């Protein structure tokens, strides 16, 4: 597996309805081990190990048509992210599976958040994945 280094320090999405977006992101990110780390009057920061790498803030104009991919520890975490996101109000964009246009080791799932942003969970397998659905299209 490739040793990865931080390229982007953090990402922030502006949302219209902070409580609704908070419910969605808190539920969807929990299976990935990403939790709420801090709260300000109009923002919630998420991350792991006290590193708030992702935030949502209420304001205008809202973020639309962005894409963010969250790292997952395994395939089960990707599946749980997808189900939790849908249950919390996201819409399906790409069901869990191996996205072959990226790699035969790339297991991901994609949802649209409440503003149409493309939110993904991805697991980079150390070995090729042969027992999961192949998803060759662009999510």
**DSSP letters for 38-55:** EEETTEEEEEETTEEEEE
Task: Provide the 10 A C-beta neighbour count for residue 86.
Answer: 16
Say how far apart CA 49 and CA 52 lie, in whole Å.
8
Residue 46 has pLDDT above 60, yes or no: yes
| Stretch 31-48: mean pLDDT | 97
pLDDT band at 6 (very low <50, low <70, confident <90, very high): confident
For residue 18, the model assigns a pLDDT of 98
Residue 74: what are its φ and ψ, rounded to 5°? -165, 175
Residue 4 has pLDDT above 80, yes or no: no
For residue 97, the model assigns a pLDDT of 98
pLDDT band at 7 (very low <50, low <70, confident <90, very high): confident
For residue 1, the model assigns a pLDDT of 54
For residue 2, the model assigns a pLDDT of 65
Nearest-Å Rg of the Cα atoms of the chain is: 15
- What are the pLDDT digits (tens) for 81-130? 999 999 999 999 999 999 999 999 999 999 999 999 999 999 999 999 99
Please name each of the domains of the chain with its CATH number: 11-124 (3.10.180.10)
Q: What is the DSSP letter of 8?
A: -
Task: Provide the 10 A C-beta neighbour count for residue 59.
Answer: 14
């Amino acid at each position: 597996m490739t040793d990865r280094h931080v390229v982007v320090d953090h990402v922030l999405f502006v949302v219209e309805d902070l409580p609704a977006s908070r419910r969605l992101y808190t539920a969807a990110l929990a299976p990935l081990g990403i939790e709420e780390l801090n709260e300000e009057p109009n923002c919630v920061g998420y991350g792991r190990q006290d590193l708030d790498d992702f935030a949502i803030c209420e304001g205008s104009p809202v973020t639309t048509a962005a894409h963010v991919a969250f790292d997952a520890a395994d395939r089960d975490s990707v599946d749980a992210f997808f189900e939790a996101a849908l249950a919390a109000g996201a819409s399906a964009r790409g069901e869990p599976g191996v996205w072959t246009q990226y790699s035969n080791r790339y297991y991901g799932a994609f949802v649209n958040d409440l503003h149409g942003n493309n939110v993904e969970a991805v697991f980079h397998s150390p070995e090729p994945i042969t027992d999961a659905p192949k998803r060759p299209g662009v999510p």
